[in-house]
Amino acid sequence: MNLLVVGTVAFDDVETPFGLREGILGGSATHFSYAASFFTDVGIVGAVGEDFPDDFLQVLDGRGIDRSGLQKIEGKKTFHWSGKYVGDMNEAETLDTQLNVLDGYRPSVPEGFRETPFVFLANGEPDLQLATIDQVRPRFLVCDTMNLWINTALERLKEVLGRVNGIILNDGEAKLLTGERNLICAAEAVAAMGPRTVIVKRGEFGSFLLCDEGRFAIPAYPLRKVIDPTGAGDSFAGGVMGYLAEIGSTSFADLKKAMAYGTVTASFNVEDFSLDNFKRISRDDIDRRFGEFVAFTSF
Amino acid sequence: MNLLVVGTVAFDDVETPFGLREGILGGSATHFSYAASFFTDVGIVGAVGEDFPDDFLQVLDGRGIDRSGLQKIEGKKTFHWSGKYVGDMNEAETLDTQLNVLDGYRPSVPEGFRETPFVFLANGEPDLQLATIDQVRPRFLVCDTMNLWINTALERLKEVLGRVNGIILNDGEAKLLTGERNLICAAEAVAAMGPRTVIVKRGEFGSFLLCDEGRFAIPAYPLRKVIDPTGAGDSFAGGVMGYLAEIGSTSFADLKKAMAYGTVTASFNVEDFSLDNFKRISRDDIDRRFGEFVAFTSF
């Protein structure tokens, strides 16, 4: 297997200006792995409760996602997130979070996954990210994080940052983490904490890369209609890591191309709720939109 | 002459986190013409008061800017704007505006300027923009506008839009003008009002082009430190129009390149107050940064 993600598989309740959906398939590992599956073999480490339905598992199976690291824990319920998007839909307002099965969960990486070359630690408690790091020997290890951990577990998060090769985080998180207001300064300060590759997500404004070899920026793929932004960041990361794992490279040139693939992949994800639009597309659609995106950004 | 701008020449009081400057040289036509002068011959139509000092005029003369259309009106004072930038510095807070010489001013385009092929109508009252349009016969006519005119003179603004080839406006203005929340939808709705070329400025997030031939987006040039954003939009427009006038083209491919030149030119402008950084650079510096910008955005 080329790529491993450790993260959540969840039930989501999502409200956007385009409607309300309850109990739909969500979670960081779900969006990440589905996005990455267009590019490479991918496996999940995580946990769901006994209420997790077979047809949701079959969604993952349909893409060949290896879920032998996804534990189903009897007597517990699946992680459940409720949120809504208003206005420009750039940020979700979290209405409710029920940890359920994740309360007290420690990730356990199956023996067969431990040598996976590309590993992504989706947003999660730094202690759990560290517990995962202890179990893997990847070539390229990338993490995500969020404001909650920056505010409540900064020292442990810094330990994580000292042990990863890269981080994919959003603009506000990079600024909060570093106290810098300027994008470049914030990215440089993040890199100084450990990760040599820093990718900053800027929502509808695209993304920014800082690494030893240089800097790079691309706009977002322009969409007339965003139905549900949930999973945009994770499917972007899935496209980035999926492409890198597919070609087995982490060069500057390939990181740039990977970000363009991540951008395009995420653009499909937000065109419907949950994975509904992902289920309709193929790698060909991604490659076609990638071609449009090249034209859209070249001068 | 290749390029004409009709706009303001002003005294500015500007406060940013990097300092306070009073009575410095500002105005839309000033920033626009200085930026454009790196690319082509440019002339100004506007008015200043009797208090306007010779050394400010010499700043324009030093770049060969034709100010035969810049009237100095006795008994009046120069237009004076005061503003400050706080936080992320994305928007100025206007503290005071003294119209002075512009109160009752009607632009008068000198006979020798009337056939100028490229004309830019900087932000101004739609009635005055229309009065200018009546006096020129350009090949490529582009305007700017602002929230004030969208809110107070919409019908006259629509007349302007029906008579221009292009518009360069910011994100918030495009959305206010059209009632659309989505960037593409807003740009399309602006184009439906007349201008076939719509360039939407997005501040630190770059800019977006919609024209008959397609769509295009570029990020901003990344700067560690923005000292004073005043004139960013006008110097961007000056770079765009200056480059187009230099090469005598309005093709899609050249519009894209022009936006990249506008981006790079504006990036120099905001690195110091007023025109202070512009005064230090040459076309070579612009071309060098253009090369870096190509690398920064290519994948």
The rounded distance, in Å, linking the Cα atoms of B238 and B36 is 4
* pLDDT over threshold 80, residue A88: no
**Which residues from B are below 8 Å from A when comparing CB atoms?**
87-88, 181-185, 202, 204-206, 208, 214-219, 222-226, 253, 256-257, 259-260, 294-299
Mean confidence (pLDDT) of chain B: 96
Domain carrying residue A264: 3-297
Identify the pLDDT of residue B88: 75
Identify the pLDDT of residue B250: 98
Contact B184 A259 (CB under 8 A): no
Mean confidence (pLDDT) of chain A: 96
Identify the pLDDT of residue A284: 98
The rounded distance, in Å, linking the Cα atoms of A237 and A257 is 13
Query: Which amino acid is it at B263?
Result: T
Q: Per residue in B98-128, pLDDT tens?
A: 999 999 999 999 999 999 999 999 999 999 9
Q: Per residue in B230-268, pLDDT tens?
A: 999 999 999 999 999 999 999 999 999 999 999 999 999
Contact B298 A296 (CB under 8 A): no
- Over pLDDT 90: what percentage of chain B? 97
Q: From B232, B148, B239, B160, select the one nearest B194 (Cα to Cα).
A: B160
Mean pLDDT of the region A108-130: 97
The rounded distance, in Å, linking the Cα atoms of A269 and A286 is 11
Q: From B82, B33, B40, select the one nearest B59 (Cα to Cα).
A: B33
Residues of A in contact with B253 (CB under 8 A): 299
Identify the pLDDT of residue B152: 96
Identify the pLDDT of residue B97: 94
Structurally, how many domains does chain A consist of?
1
- Over pLDDT 70: what percentage of chain B? 100
- Contact by Cβ (8 Å): A158, A135: no
Q: Per residue in B167-191, pLDDT tens?
A: 999 999 999 999 999 999 999 999 9
The rounded distance, in Å, linking the Cα atoms of B173 and B283 is 31
C-alpha Rg value of chain B to the nearest Å? 18
Mean pLDDT of the region A247-271: 98
Identify the pLDDT of residue B89: 80
Written as one string, the DSSP assignment of A227-296 is: S--TTHHHHHHHHHHHHHHHHT---HHHHHHHHHHHHHHHHHHTTSSTTTTGGG--HHHHHHHHHHHHHH
Mind telling me how many Å the CA of B250 is from chain A's nearest CA?
14
Mean pLDDT of the region A204-212: 95
* pLDDT over threshold 90, residue A90: no
Mind telling me how many Å the CA of B84 is from chain A's nearest CA?
18
The DSSP code for A87 is T
Contact B224 A253 (CB under 8 A): no
For the purposes of burial, counting CB atoms within 10 Å of the CB of A160, is it exposed (0-12), middle (13-18) or buried (19 or more)? Answer: buried
The rounded distance, in Å, linking the Cα atoms of B92 and A212 is 35
Q: Which residue of B has its CA nearest to A186?
A: B224
Write the CATH number for B90: 3.40.1190.20
